[in-house]
Amino acid sequence: MCRHLAWLGEPRTVSSLVLEPELGLLRQSYQPRRQSHGLMNADGWGVGLLAPDRAEPVRWRSSRPLWSDASFASVAPVLSSGCVVAAVRSATPGMPTDESASAPFTDGRWLLSHNGRVDRAVLPSYAEAESVCDSAVLAAHVFAQGPDHLAKIVTEVARLDPVARLSLLLSDGERILATTWGDPLSYLVEPDGVVVASEPYDDDPRWVDVPDRHLLEATPDRVAVTALEER
């Protein structure tokens, strides 16, 4: 289980997205409001973003609780991007807790976070997976099959593991893709972009909840939500 967030639009600082919101990921690391599995997200955190003149995303990940990292808090206000994916982690029992197991994961283009759990036995083995944890192996599977096939991937993995929770969040700087399968997701369209998150980071009434078992596809000025089981 984890909490995650993606921003796509005009550049915003990482601090404004992750640390400053009253009910944002920092608060969600120790007091989430909509989390139904686990009480805290203290097993690590990660932030990925696209930087000008750099083809691949840059990431900062840690195995420590987000609230304990003063170094990140001092740098986050000067890091800005038009594409940010961030997550705080509650490790699946039995999974490693080193920083390589913290989202977002990447294939050099996409940033991906997984909120949930999956039996690794139903997934192929990937040497390029960043960790042996379930989320990293699932990320490698998505990258290998192609994010454009996300709806098919999620429904097939769910068929193989009926108790899997498969809420995924991805961005490549051009669009956000996300699924709900066992865990919640909400989005907020702003004048300068769109934010998609496990739970709203404030009480703005414009937040829209995504129904379970749906696929979200978003650009900075458009959001489409369709039922996964109808695709």
What are the catalytic residues? 2
Question: For residue 102, what are the β-bridge partners?
Answer: none
Whole-number Cα distances in Å, 60 to 84, 121, 139? 11, 29, 17
216 neighbors 185 (Cβ within 8 angstroms): yes
- Order of strands, sheet of 80-89, starting from the edge strand that comes earlier in the sequence: 58-62, 45-49, 80-89, 2-13, 193-197, 186-190, 208-209
In one-letter notation, the amino acid at residue 214 is: H
Query: Could you tell me whether strands 45-49 and 58-62 are parallel, antiparallel, or unpaired per DSSP bridges?
Result: antiparallel
**Token output for 56:** 């691949």
Query: Could you tell me whether strands 193-197 and 2-13 are parallel, antiparallel, or unpaired per DSSP bridges?
Result: antiparallel
CA gap 14, 169 in Å, rounded: 17
Residues 6+ apart with CB under 8 A from 122: 157, 160, 161, 164
Backbone angles phi, psi at 149, to 5 degrees: -105, 25
